[in-house]
Structure 1
């Protein structure tokens, strides 16, 4: 089998973008490129000419000037989403550069053995097809310090040479290439110096993987490159970016697989009191970052998240605002001399270790593996009919958990495979030999050359290594007569970057949340469009339903869908400056560029006069005072607390298919859930003390509350969860009491009148044109609700003027400042005498017209709206406050009822 070469437009664009950078260069010949027996690459273009070419090509490819990162370094950056054929692009670029300019010396620099093998396999697969197109085959070889004759040929030959090297092969002074005292030197100079005389074009594959360290930059400079060309989906350093294919563009245009996220996570597991050691820094004193259950002070909601840097003596209860951790004071942060691992010891004797996850991991792994096998067999049956072999990839946390003395993950795989297999094979049971043959694994090599595990010896490992990395095409064949029967591939981190296979349809990440494998890298291993046994890529037609789609990648992480998507979007945002550039994980259909937008005051004197008068009325500031009725608080709290029901602690698997995009946001299909009940583990807690810590109520008041509570069985299910819910109820009751007694009074101060033309860097969706009735010709909007309201107000003949209120117009409340949305002036005639009156309104827009709709409005927003009502009542009847408002028509109806004219 041979993968078929395709002529894809986006790949050709990336290739020609590099070729155009060298336009105007003198074609290399024997005369201008050979000196002292060394054939080199030659360029007569000045830096200024090269930069002009770079700017022109980048502009042709639609890149904004600030994204190009123009540099005087002889470097180019090409950014292509994983799975879109980056390796083939730079291979064909080498052919094109020889064809156009007769450049002959190329070095492909790779960060790992896995990527090196992938590059060699690609050359091998496409050699004959490329020869048919270009009429030659370059001399391609991997650098080997024991075969320096190949390096000599590289230096001297006129024929195109491609040397593939890992960074480790020359990145220290003691490496053979750097040695100056040897009998086999090239013309009495170190080989690296001789290579430098060829002025090679260096292709940097995944340069973010260690090629930009100070030492690496220094060592690469010894190669004296004519140009360095960076290829990656996840650049950390960008110089002279000339082509970019974002994840969003790849996903939208069907260049990669669609994505299903099938999450497996613990639910209602607050009782586990998990703590994880996420990071260590050891400067003057050692400090640690921990993950734990944090409680939000205002809402009472608890989230499992990362702390700031903590030191010895810090109390985790204080840092997380969670009294459940009050007995967790950090006694010691240290690194074991024996194991070399960091750990944190707490005052209660608990010790946690670096990157060791708390919680019931084996149960989660079991469910992840079970669902992976289900998805694998489901897809295998459907794909086999189309001549496509299904592969699945499993990232594990530690090599020992697959090949050690107690291989937990391998044992779980075998157990679940035996359990699931009969369901898809007419009740038949798999043999032990079959289960063993279906598994392949690749783990990084040790410094002594052995693989980083101890099963089967080096010989067997080499066979597995070749099957996964070198015989990439053979692994895509299936049938009883095929030698390579691997369907499930296990890896730790070595396959995390650079390796992929078009027929990976499922990926499970059994590694911890601190895995070095990032979201884009995890997804990227299976994004490539699949191929059949003839090496032909098989595409889905536009509009294919989820159930019929061939190119569907299922990712099974051990975290919630929201966490997975959020981390993915943050990663995208850090690269592109916009989370909407992501592949299938964005919240909007259209990623918009930010532009400078000018906001000009409406030139109408009538509008400006009306607005100044309106502002004078609403600019009055107030102070508030509050009081409590303790008896009423106790009775209300007990009534609500006795209604609490606590859910069981479970592990949940949930599926989401990411579909096409729309203007209103990411469209996804919910694929369903499955739940496995767990036993909660907890420590006995002092109920009164913890609730007091959370709410600020005295012990005396809480004793009166707890005496009247009669649902203790709910507390036993999950004490921390119960305490958090009780605390939130008490806070809500406190706020209700506060609202009943709160009083606002004017304090004699006013908000300043500070309105002038301004400009902002924003996208088109963040503002709306309001030329008729807007105080400014444009209105800032934060939502579709605000956009619709603005458009309707601007077209209403009864509106005199309106404005999106500035962020500095704040009404103070006990739970924080409140910023209303709109100010609006309306003019209406009296029916009796025909005189016109102006009416002033402040409006809060929400996704509902009902203040009791807690699905659309949070508790905090409701309290702030109720406080605002009292604020506006206190400043007089001139300004009427309407909240919440979803539709402009609802606002007009409310106006009819209140002003009655």
Structure 2
């Protein structure tokens, strides 16, 4: 199997966000970026120029400066929900940065082996396809202290180099990269210093995993990065957040699987001996704890699971809860582990309980979780096999010993349930022991001592155990490979995922150590078939036909699971609404399933059918292009360009002292030194052609007629950038001028039935009065306000949010207008009442020339739509852009007056 590379709009936006940060940088070459045998990344942009670029990007991406947390540090945060392809995004960003600026030195920092292997696997999966696109393949390798010649190559090479390394490679002074006394030094300096001279661009994958400690910051600073690009779904430290793809956006746009939460919890379990450690008190005396346990009330006979008072060593839980079932639970020790830093309470009967852990038998719960997992797994497997898709299930367990130990409780439960359930889905066939064993894979490594663990030390000693899970993603996805169930403790919680994980069960005896977003994230990625192609669902797909659905099976209540997930979302985004919607499989209709019903009014139905007859007519377009107009207009506008001097800023700070609380310094002044730039006419033509798509021949004609080439010499990259913008504008104007639409004779069908959407409350508004449906889908506050005002306007007969399948074809792709609306107006002269038809495009502005509020492509599509609706005749009036409903009414009045 080979994964197929896709061009996804949201990924391209994330990639170009980074490229635009360095817009204006002179392209690196051997001549300007090579010193003393070291090829470096060089950029002469001043801090002000970088900040200007960043502010433009924030505006384009719709992120406020407050949310972005603007900083002068050369750190850029890119936030992408797990499962949306951030690894591929930053790999393609490497290609783009070399293509645009000639940068050749990149270091990818990773916190774990799982993430490192995922990156290496991604490079291998897509290197041929990326080479076909970009015409080169970077030298990507993992750092190995025993292979220093590769580091030397990294430092010297002119070809793009990508070194993948963990912080542990250089996070202490005794590491080989930091050693100053070696025979194999690079030019008699430590390798870390030589790497620093290359000014690498550092890509930090999951930086919240230990990359922001004081020591890590100090060690990373030695690498002297040109920029640090920070990629994560769950940033803890935010600096210059320039791109954000939230869980809600990912979910809404169908970029990840839908989530089903299938909960397995005890009900009415007063007879169980559950105990939970909820609080610890540390003071002058011995530590005390509060335990949650079943309390018996003698007077009422009721029993409640609640907190005890503060307890100390020697206290008997049975006495404190008045529950004789706990009389064998006398506290013998309250201790904090030096190794794990977790508190433990030990009892006289040998039982122990950790922080956030429940003591008690969970065997029955685990058995039921495994049972439900298998039912979901086999049901999905049969359905997916018809589509050539393999189904995988992931099982997180509480302790490795419960799968690999002498008494592997969880493994035994798995075997037992597999024997019971398999025949139900396979015509009564009984699986053999060999078949059951073959279907299991696991991510545990065995140490020399025989102990199994999820750590790097163990992995190095027995790599074969995890190779299939960690490295063989394509092989694991092959239907012929027997492994279908993957077991892990915690190491697959970050950095590992697989597109065909359709079920996740968490067999814990505690609140999951893995964060909910990480836990869910292992299976969020859109699935692939045996050809390596992603298989998407339509946004309005029926529940029974959906392919991309992840089932999560935790051993806690649905409310507890969702509350914890929402708290994680809220801590990052300030609102729980940014998270993915979830459905609870034990309810008929989830809280997020919304029914949209047609308005029963006969007046609305009649008016809407007539309106749709006029609106539904399809068109096709033809284009003509006048090259001379393009040349003349471009020359006229380009000759007005004025470029500020190209400078290098030199600044001086006197450091008076450095202490733990920070440095104390005094600004000594700065100077800007004007620089000379070199270029060739071919470079100029080549760059502009690449940015605009205009032929070399036409560009030669434009350049030959320019009289301000002295502005070009000041700063060629900036001149090229501004020139490209002008030519693209002129191109669009010329295309519109030569664009013509013709009615084809075909029409969109009248296909408007009741439907159900799985969405949040923020994604729709109630429109019971004038809506074609009783609810209206909305994507913004502008649409929300428009819908509410239209629904109460006495002159409106009916309106609706136009379906996504209603598209107008344009030269730069299909366009989907927002609203359709029918308005009635009575003539004062004749007393006759007429209906008028409108199509409305809502935006954050009423001015089509407002380039701050509208993207270039939005303006172009609106202008194309004007020609389309004009061709439909006077029946349909198109109003765009519209910010407020009041403004629309003003525009509507104008159209109605002209036609009455």
Band the TM-score falls in, shorter-chain normalisation: 0.5 to 0.7
- The reply to whether residue 580 of structure 1 matches residue 577 of structure 2 is yes
Q: 3-state SS of the aligned residue for 2:262?
A: strand
Alignment match, 1:555: 552
Indicate the residue corresponding to 2:541 in structure 1.
544
Tell me if structure 1 keeps the 8 A contact 2:445–2:465: no
Q: How far 1:359 sits from its partner (Å)?
A: 2.5
Once the two structures are overlaid, the 10-residue window that deviates more, 183-192 or 155-164, is 183-192
Which residue, 519, 532, 536 being the options, matches 1:535? 532
Change (3 A) 1:313 1:30: farther
TM-score by length of 2: 0.61
Superposition deviation, residue 319 in structure 1 = 10
Q: 1:7-22 counterparts in 2 under 5 A?
A: 7-22=7-22
Question: For 2:381 and 2:39, how far apart are their aligned partners in 1?
Answer: 52
Partner of 2:236: 236
Alignment correspondent of 2:55: 55
Task: Report the Cα offset of residue 286 of structure 1.
Answer: 6.7
Q: Distance in 2 between matches of 1:338 and 1:71?
A: 37
Aligned partner of 1:497 in structure 2 is 494
Shift of 1:282: 7.0
Q: Does residue 78 of structure 1 match 2:105?
A: no
Check 1:586–1:304 CA distance in 2 against 1; reply closer, same or farther (3 A cut).
farther
1:254 aligned partner: 254
When residues 414 and 351 of structure 1 are mapped into structure 2, their CA distance, relative to the original with a 3 A threshold, is closer
Distance in structure 1 (CA, Å) of the matches to 2:510 and 2:352: 19
State how far apart, in whole Å, the 1-side matches of 2:459 and 2:112 are.
19
- Cα distance in 1 between the residues matched to 2:138 and 2:369: 45
**What corresponds to 2:483 in structure 1?**
486
Matched, 1:87 2:87: yes
Q: Is the Cα contact below 8 Å between 1:34 and 1:40 reproduced in 2?
A: yes
Residue 427 (str. 1) matches residue 424 (str. 2): no
**Aligned with 2:87: secondary structure?**
helix
Q: In structure 2, what is the Cα distance between the partners aligned to 1:310 and 1:65?
A: 50
Aligned positions of 1:250-289 closer than 5 A: 250-277=250-277, 287=287
The 1:27/1:449 distance shift into structure 2, 3 A limit, reads farther
Is 1:177 aligned to 2:174, yes or no? no
**CA gap 1:506/1:269 in 2 versus in 1, 3 angstroms:** same
CA contact (8 A) 2:315 2:330 kept: yes
CA distance in 1, matches of 2:446, 2:588: 37
Secondary structure of 2:109's aligned partner: strand
Is 1:387 aligned with 2:395?
no
8 Å contact from structure 1 (residues 287, 311) kept in 2 = yes
Match status 1:407 vs 2:433: no
Q: How does 1:682-701 map to 2 (within 5 A)?
A: none
Note the C-alpha offset of 1:26.
1.9
SS at match of 1:373: helix
Secondary structure, counterpart of 1:32 in structure 2:
coil
Give the secondary-structure state (helix, strand or coil) at the position aligned to 2:260: strand
- Matching residue of 1:3: 3
Q: What CA distance in whole angstroms lies between the structure 1 residues aligned with 2:310 and 2:344? A: 14
CA shift for structure 1 position 527: 0.3
- For residue 495 of structure 2, give the secondary structure of its aligned residue in structure 1: coil
Answer yes or no: is the 8 Å Cα contact 1:281–1:288 preserved in 2: yes
Tell me if structure 2 keeps the 8 A contact 1:569–1:585: no
Confirm or deny: 8 A CA contact 2:109 2:203 kept in the other structure: yes
Asked if the contact 2:42–2:199 (Cα under 8 Å) also holds between the matched residues in 1, the reply is yes
Name stretches of at least 5 consecutive residues in structure 2 with no aligned partner.
Answer: 597-760, 767-784, 794-900
TM-score by length of 1: 0.61
Aligned to 1:30: 30
User: Aligned pair in 2 of structure 1 residues 364, 353: CA closer, same or farther (>3 Å)?
Assistant: same
**Which residue matches 2:398?**
397
Contact kept in structure 1, 2:443 and 2:454, CA below 8 Å? no
The reply on whether 1:109 has 2:122 as its aligned counterpart is: no
Which piece of structure 1 moves more, 43-52 or 654-663? 654-663
CA contact (8 A) 1:258 1:658 kept: no
Cα distance, 1:285–1:528 mapped onto 2, change above 3 Å: farther
CA separation of 1:436 and 1:61: change in aligned 2, threshold 3 A: same
The count of corresponding residues between Structure 1 and Structure 2 is 602
Deviation per residue, 1:657-688 (Å, 9 max, x gap): 86866599xxxxxxxxxxxxxxxxxxxxxxxx
The 3 A distance-change label for structure 1 pair 147 and 560 is same
- Of 517, 522, 526, the residue aligned with 1:525 is 522
Q: Distance in 2 between matches of 1:96 and 1:288?
A: 58
Aligned to 2:827: none
Give the Cα–Cα distance (whole angstroms) in 2 for the partners of residues 82 and 525 of structure 1.
8
Counterpart contact for 2:256–2:524, Cα < 8 Å: yes
Q: 1:124 to 1:236 in 2, by over 3 A?
A: same
Change (3 A) 1:321 1:47: farther
Secondary structure of the residue aligned to 2:66 is: helix
Q: Cα–Cα, structure 1 residues 17 and 296, in superposed 2: closer, same or farther, change >3 Å?
A: farther
Cα pair 2:280 2:290 within 8 Å, conserved = no
Q: 2:188 matched to 1:188?
A: yes
Aligned-residue offset at 1:277: 3.2
* Structure 1 gap ranges (5+): 588-652, 665-762, 769-786, 796-901
* Structure 1 vs Structure 2 CA RMSD: 4.0
What is the Cα deviation at residue 29 of structure 1? Answer: 1.8
Is residue 41 of structure 2 the alignment partner of residue 41 of structure 1?
A: yes
Contact preservation (8 Å) 1:451, 1:458: no
Asked if 1 retains the 8 angstrom alpha-carbon contact of 2:173 and 2:179, the reply is: yes
1:450 Cα deviation from its structure 2 partner: 9.1
Separation in 2, partners of 1:10, 1:162: 24
Equivalent position to 1:564, from 537, 550, 561: 561
Q: CA deviation at 1:460?
A: 11
8 Å CA contact 1:208–1:236 kept in 2: the answer is: yes
Classify 1:169/1:459 alpha carbon distance in 2 versus 1 (closer, same or farther; 3 Å). Answer: closer
State how far apart, in whole Å, the 2-side matches of 1:586 and 1:425 are: 29
Q: Given the superposition, is the C-alpha separation of residues 289 and 121 from structure 1 closer, same or farther in structure 2, using an over 3 Å criterion? A: farther
CA distance in structure 2 between the aligned counterparts of 1:433 and 1:323, rounded to whole angstroms? 47
List aligned pairs for 1:197-346, cutoff 5 A.
197-277=197-277, 287=287, 292-293=292-293, 332-335=333-336, 342-345=343-346
Secondary structure of the structure 2 residue equivalent to 1:266: coil
Asked if 2 retains the 8 angstrom alpha-carbon contact of 1:205 and 1:231, the reply is: yes
Question: Cα distance 1:210–1:337, how it changes in 2: closer, same or farther (>3 A)?
Answer: closer
- For 2:151, the equivalent position in structure 1 comes to 151
Structure-2 residue corresponding to 1:718: none
Question: SS state of the match for residue 473, structure 2?
Answer: coil
Q: Distance in 2 between matches of 1:309 and 1:182?
A: 59
CA contact (8 A) 1:313 1:329 kept: yes
| Matches of 1:29 and 1:561, distance apart in 2 | 58
1:186 and 1:658 mapped to 2: Cα distance? 63
Asked if residue 378 in structure 1 is aligned to residue 384 in structure 2, the reply is no
Q: What do residues 214-240 of structure 1 show as CA deviations (whole Å, max 9, x unaligned)?
A: 111111111111111110111111111
Q: What do the CA deviations read for 1:517-574 (whole angstroms, capped 9, x no partner)?
A: 1100110000000000000100111222222210010000000111111110011000
Residue 264 of structure 1 contacts residue 364 of structure 1 at CA under 8 Å; is this kept in 2? yes
Task: Quote the Cα distance in structure 1 between the aligned partners of 2:243 and 2:306.
Answer: 37
- Evaluate the alpha carbon distance shift between residue 28 and residue 517 of structure 1 in structure 2; reply closer, same or farther with a 3 A threshold: same
Aligned to 1:243, the other structure's residue is in SS state strand
Q: Is contact 1:311–1:330 with CA below 8 Å preserved after alignment?
A: yes
Q: Secondary structure at the match of 1:495?
A: helix
For the Cα contact (< 8 Å) 2:448–2:461, is it kept in 1?
Answer: no
Does the 8 Å contact 1:273/1:292 carry over to 2? no
TM-superposition CA deviations, 1:388-436 (whole Å, max 9, x none): 0000000011111111111111111111111111001100111111111
Q: Secondary structure at the match of 2:164?
A: strand
- Larger displacement relative to structure 2 (529-538 or 50-59): 50-59
Deviation at 1:276, TM superposition (A): 2.4
Deviations 1:740-787 (A, max 9, x none): xxxxxxxxxxxxxxxxxxxxxxx999x99xxxxxxxxxxxxxxxxxx9
Q: Deviations over 1:356-380 (max 9, x none)?
A: 5322211111111111111110000
The 3 A distance-change label for structure 1 pair 583 and 523 is same
CA offset at residue 512 of structure 1?
Answer: 3.2
Q: CA deviation at 1:59?
A: 2.1
Give 1:839's aligned residue.
none
User: Which whole-Å CA distance do the structure 1 matches of 2:588 and 2:140 have between them?
Assistant: 44
Q: Cα–Cα, structure 1 residues 359 and 244, in superposed 2: closer, same or farther, change >3 Å?
A: same
Distance 1:656 1:531 in 2: 30
